[in-house]
């Protein structure tokens, strides 16, 4: 382009800086001997090729891209010069949504020709966008633009090189990519699937996967697949169990895009992610919550039985009431405290005897008060015998504390409501742990899990296929989010959260 022509080697160096080749000294390992395909595609290909960061900023462009866009290479790389697509194109939002969901996009869009700050025209183009992760763990995009209005016939050899380049990119992303034929057999399998399942790509090409799907999930998978095969486009992801080559079961998330009607693809493209650890963690949380509910129900039943006997023996009532390991309070039907034991006062942050006569509504968080009031009215009306809820009480200082509140009603001899029994258990630490754990990203949870297993940053880097510096960045973020001082404390907190499963400690 005018004043912006660059030598081929200089453009290649710029692309290496963008992370596509991982640097001249690592290009052989990044492409496995296919570097010549990339060089031919980038330098002399009939299509415009651009590299961009995750935010869309242009990192490099070949000569054809500059010609199509009517901008010099330096203009494209300058701040604000990298706007490529016509923002008024109604197809743009759907294209970006597809790219965000699947990591790639292929279709037609209107492309800007000329500098956005000057005279700008548009042309209809065939656009392909593919995401990849460079050697430093950074998300990158490769964008290929072809002017469909020019109706140019591409060189078959160069097109073949472009296809092989995209397959090379798919080989190094973290998730696996597969393409199904219309009959359900596999046409293409990226090498990443071997890391997830143990099956090499050559073992699966032409293979129908029904034999390795868990029998309990088979009906669901078949139903989902039939619906997807009948409906072109992107389908909501779903999770099922697949038997790995070593006989263990992996929970895989399938995000499928039906491109059977696209003559350039003619298949169903699937992005596969291993969510085994996430599913196990969720199952463990459910198990712990179920166990807690069981224990609370048992204690509530025990306390209700004790209250019945307390009517006959006030001394026994006082001893049980004051010595209970859980917080207990008696509440009038008008909502005022009649009694509260020491444990209840300790949990809610009040002094002994301070709550007697106080309005219950003044000691519960304003956001939780309406719901709790409604539930107590339903108990009083006989619609339900009791209820259990996680609510926030207010300490004397005004700070909230999470409790598991179990409320039942004692009726008088005539059957009318006499008073409520409140049984509370301190779950503040567990709730804060859940909130802290919920603030972590999926990748940070994976790193935290391996910290808890005693793995070093280097081992985590190798096993998660991310860079050492990225692991250190995740560890620093985890320490901040969990409010701890070092990785050892973070690992200990993960064990306290129940994130580490007994059967996973030997992995």
In 171-275, alpha helices (H): 192-197, 201-204, 215-230
Q: What percent of the chain has pLDDT over 90?
A: 8
Residue-level pLDDT at 18? 44
Domain ranges in the chain? 8-169, 176-274, 281-431, 439-504
Query: pLDDT class for 505, splitting at 50, 70, 90?
Result: very low
Between 318 and 442, the more confident residue is: 442
Rounded to an integer, the average pLDDT of 313-318 is 65
For residue 315, the model assigns a pLDDT of 66
In the predicted structure, residue 80 carries a pLDDT above the cut 80: no
**Are domains 176-274 and 281-431 of this chain identical in fold?**
yes
Confidence of residue 45 (pLDDT cuts 50, 70, 90): low
User: Which has more confidence, 186 or 94?
Assistant: 94
Decide which of 3.30.450.20, 3.10.20.600, 3.30.413.10, 3.30.565.10 is the CATH code for 281-431. Answer: 3.30.450.20
CATH topology for the 8-169 domain: Beta-Lactamase (3.30.450)
Instruction: Tell the residue number behind the tokens 């296919």, with chain if given.
Output: 34
Long-range contacts of 14-21 (CB under 8 A, 24+ apart): 14/59, 14/60, 15/42, 15/51, 15/59, 15/60, 17/59, 17/60, 18/51, 18/53, 18/59, 18/60, 18/134, 18/140, 19/134, 19/135, 19/136, 19/138, 19/140, 20/51, 20/132, 20/134, 20/140, 20/142
The pLDDT tens digits for 103-140 are: 888 888 999 888 766 778 888 888 888 887 776 778 88
Q: Once rounded to an integer, what is the mean pLDDT over residues 87-114? A: 88
Domain spanning 439-504, CATH class = mainly alpha
- The average confidence (pLDDT) of the chain is 80
pLDDT reading at 51 higher than 80? yes
**CATH entry 3.30.450.20 includes domain 176-274:** yes
Contact 437, 484 (CB under 8 A): no
Task: For the chain, give the number of residues.
Answer: 507
Q: How many CB atoms lie within 10 A of CB 372?
A: 20
> In the structure encoding, which two tokens stand for residue 485, read together?
């001082």
Angle at 205 between CA 199 and CA 209, to 5 degrees: 70
Task: Please give the Cα distance from 460 to 469 (Å, whole number).
Answer: 11
Highest averaged pLDDT of the listed ranges 7-21, 34-48, 82-96, 174-188: 82-96
Judge contact between 121 and 113, C-beta under 8 A. yes
Read off the pLDDT of each residue in 132-150 and give the average, rounded to a whole number.
80
Does position 16 have pLDDT exceeding 80, yes or no? no
Please tell me the predicted confidence (pLDDT) of residue 114: 84
């Amino acid at each position: 382009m005018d004043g912006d022509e660059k030598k081929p080697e200089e453009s290649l160096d710029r692309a290496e800086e963008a992370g596509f080749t991982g640097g001249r000294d690592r290009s052989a390992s990044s492409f496995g001997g296919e570097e010549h395909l990339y060089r031919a595609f980038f330098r002399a290909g009939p299509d415009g090729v651009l590299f961009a960061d995750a935010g869309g900023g242009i990192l490099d462009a070949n000569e054809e891209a500059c010609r199509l866009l009517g901008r010099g290479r330096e203009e494209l790389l300058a701040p604000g010069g990298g706007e490529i697509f016509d923002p008024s194109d109604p197809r743009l939002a759907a294209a970006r949504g597809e790219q965000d969901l699947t990591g790639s996009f292929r279709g037609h869009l209107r492309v800007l020709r000329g500098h956005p700050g000057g005279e700008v025209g548009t042309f209809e183009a065939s656009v392909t966008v593919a995401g990849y992760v460079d050697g430093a763990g950074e998300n990158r995009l490769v964008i290929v633009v072809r002017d469909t209005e020019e109706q140019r016939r591409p060189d078959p050899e160069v097109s073949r090189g472009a296809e092989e380049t995209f397959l090379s990119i798919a080989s190094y992303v973290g998730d696996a990519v597969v393409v199904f034929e219309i009959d359900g057999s596999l046409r293409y399998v990226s090498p990443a699937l071997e890391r997830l399942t143990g099956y090499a790509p050559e073992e699966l090409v032409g293979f129908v996967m029904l034999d390795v799907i868990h029998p309990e999930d088979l009906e669901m998978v078949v139903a989902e697949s039939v619906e997807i095969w009948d409906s072109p486009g992107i389908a909501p992801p779903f999770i099922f169990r697949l038997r790995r080559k070593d006989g263990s079961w992996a929970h895989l998330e399938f995000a499928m895009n039906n491109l059977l009607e696209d003559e350039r693809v003619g298949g169903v493209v699937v992005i596969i992610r291993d969510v085994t650890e996430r599913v196990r963690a969720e199952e463990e949380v459910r198990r712990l919550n179920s166990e807690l509910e069981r224990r609370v129900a048992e204690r509530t039943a025990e306390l209700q039985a004790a209250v019945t006997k307390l009517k006959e023996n006030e001394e026994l009532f006082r001893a049980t009431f004051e010595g209970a390991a859980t917080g207990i309070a008696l509440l009038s039907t008008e909502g005022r405290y009649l009694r509260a034991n020491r444990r209840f006062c300790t949990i809610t942050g009040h002094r002994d005897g301070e709550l007697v006569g106080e309005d219950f509504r003044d000691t519960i968080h304003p956001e939780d008060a309406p719901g709790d009031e409604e539930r107590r009215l339903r108990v009083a009306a006989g619609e339900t015998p009791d209820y259990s809820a996680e609510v926030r009480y207010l300490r004397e200082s005004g700070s909230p504390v999470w409790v598991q509140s179990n409320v039942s009603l004692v009726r008088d001899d005539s059957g009318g409501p006499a008073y409520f029994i409140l049984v509370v258990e301190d779950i503040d630490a567990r709730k804060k742990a859940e909130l802290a754990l919920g603030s972590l990203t999926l990748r940070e949870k994976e790193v935290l899990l391996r910290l808890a297993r005693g793995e070093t940053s280097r081992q985590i880097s190798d096993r998660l296929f991310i860079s050492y510096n990225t692991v250190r960045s995740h560890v620093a973020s985890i320490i901040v989010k969990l409010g701890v001082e070092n990785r050892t404390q973070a690992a200990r907190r993960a064990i306290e959260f129940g994130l580490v499963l007994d059967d996973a400690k030997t992995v």
